[in-house]
Structure 1
Amino acid sequence: MGFTIGGIRDIREMRSGARRRSTECTAVAEYTGLWGWDVAPGVTAGGRVGGAGTDTAAEIPAGSTLAEVARAWSHAPGAAVLLPVGRTFDIIDVAQPAGSRALVRLERMGLPLGPVMATATGRAHFFVAPGACAELPELLYRMGWDDANLDLVAHGRGSFVTAPPTPGVRWLRPPCLDTAAEPPQARLVLGTLAYICHRSTEA
Structure 2
Amino acid sequence: MEETIGVTETAPIPKQRGEQLLDSAVRYAEERHWDVFPGTWLEADEGRERCSCGTADCPAPGAHAAKPDWATQATGSAVVARRLWSKQPGASILLPTGRTFDALDVPESAGFLALARMERMELTLGPVTCTPDRRMLFFVLPGGAAKVADLVRKLGWSPSAIDLIARGEGDYLAAPPTRIGGHGAVQWARRPTPANRWLPDVEELISPLAYACGREAAAARGR
Shift of 1:172: 0.6
Aligned to 2:188: 171
For residue 24 of structure 1, give the secondary structure of its aligned residue in structure 2: helix
Is 1:53 equivalent to 2:66 in the alignment?
yes
Normalising to structure 1: TM-score of the pair?
0.81
* Alignment map for 1:121-200 (pairs within 5 Å): 121-146=133-158, 149-167=161-179, 168-180=185-197, 182-200=198-216
1:187 to partner: Cα distance: 0.8
CA contact (8 A) 2:35 2:95 kept: yes
What is the identity, as a one-letter code, of the residue corresponding to 2:203?
Answer: R
Shift of 1:44: 5.0
SS at match of 2:211: helix
Structure 2, unaligned runs of 5 or more: 1-10, 43-58, 180-184
Residues 179 and 23 from structure 1, CA distance in 2 versus in 1: closer, same or farther, beyond 3 angstroms?
Answer: same
SS of the counterpart of 1:74?
A: helix
Separation in 2 of the partners of 1:202 and 1:44? 37
Q: Which amino acid aligns with 2:101?
A: F
Q: Deviations over 1:35-54 (max 9, x none)?
A: 11010100158879x97435
Structure 1 residue 62: Cα displacement = 2.1
CA distance in 1, matches of 2:109, 2:22: 30
Q: Is the CA contact (8 Å cut-off) linking 1:51 and 1:159 kept in structure 2?
A: no
> How many residue pairs are counted as aligned between the two chains?
185
**Structure 1 segment 51-90 matched on structure 2, within 5 A:** 52-54=65-67, 55-59=70-74, 61-65=75-79, 68-90=80-102
Alignment root-mean-square deviation, CA: 2.5
Percent sequence identity over aligned pairs = 37
Could you tell me how far apart the structure 2 residues matched to 1:197 and 1:58 are? 34
Could you list the per-position Cα deviations for residues 95-146 of structure 1 after superposition, in whole angstroms to 9, with x for gaps in the alignment? Answer: 0111011111111211011111111221111111111221112211222223
The higher relative CO (CA closer than 8 Å, separation ≥ 6) is in 1
| AA aligned opposite 2:88 | A
